[in-house]
């Protein structure tokens, strides 16, 4: 299998070529070791971050932006979105406040990205 990925670990955005043959993985195009680590994770256990918004309790037309504080396995994104969609945070809410701890046992928390008084 041959794959091309863009490394997202820094703004340079190296284009990585990944060749997977049997049990071995050959990675080229990376300017540093982080690129190799990124490619291995992306091929074997891809992870993603997630940002969305939820309605604020008692303020029907106001939304609160929220995000995960750590990337999670890609196949958990839709179940996590489903959990977050039930969230109705009650003000006052502080920026960085944990709204759901360790969502679906992923080790990631759902946090508020702004303050609402």
Q: How far is the CB of 42 from ligand SF4 (least distance, A)?
A: 11
* Order of all β-strands in the sheet with 15-21: 2-6, 15-21, 24-28
Q: How far is the CB of 18 from ligand SF4 (least distance, A)?
A: 12
Longest dimension (CA), the chain: 56
Output the six-digit token pair for 23.
Answer: 């049990």
Nearer to ligand SF4, 34 or 48 (CB): 34
Q: Which single residue brings its beta carbon nearest to ligand SF4? A: 35
Q: How far is the CB of 17 from ligand SF4 (least distance, A)?
A: 12
Nearer to ligand SF4, 35 or 89 (CB): 35
Phi/psi zone of residue 14: left (φ > 0), alpha (ψ -120 to 50 degrees), beta?
A: beta
Q: Show the beta-strand stretches assigned E in the chain.
A: 2-6, 15-21, 24-28, 47-48, 51-56, 59-68, 72-73, 98-100, 110-112
Residues near ligand SF4 (CB under 6 A): 7, 9-10, 12-14, 30-32, 34-35
Q: How far is the CB of 5 from ligand SF4 (least distance, A)?
A: 10
């Amino acid at each position: 299998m041959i794959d091309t990925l863009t490394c997202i670990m820094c703004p340079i955005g190296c284009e990585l070529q990944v060749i997977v043959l049997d049990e071995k993985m050959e990675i080229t195009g990376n300017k540093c070791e982080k690129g190799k680590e990124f490619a291995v994770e992306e091929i074997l256990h891809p992870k993603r971050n997630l940002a969305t918004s939820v309605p604020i309790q008692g303020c029907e037309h106001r939304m609160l932006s929220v995000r995960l504080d750590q990337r999670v396995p890609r196949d958990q994104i839709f179940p996590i979105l489903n959990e977050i969609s039930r969230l109705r945070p009650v003000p006052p809410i502080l920026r960085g406040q944990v709204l759901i701890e360790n969502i679906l046992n992923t080790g990631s928390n759902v946090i508020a990205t702004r303050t609402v008084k």
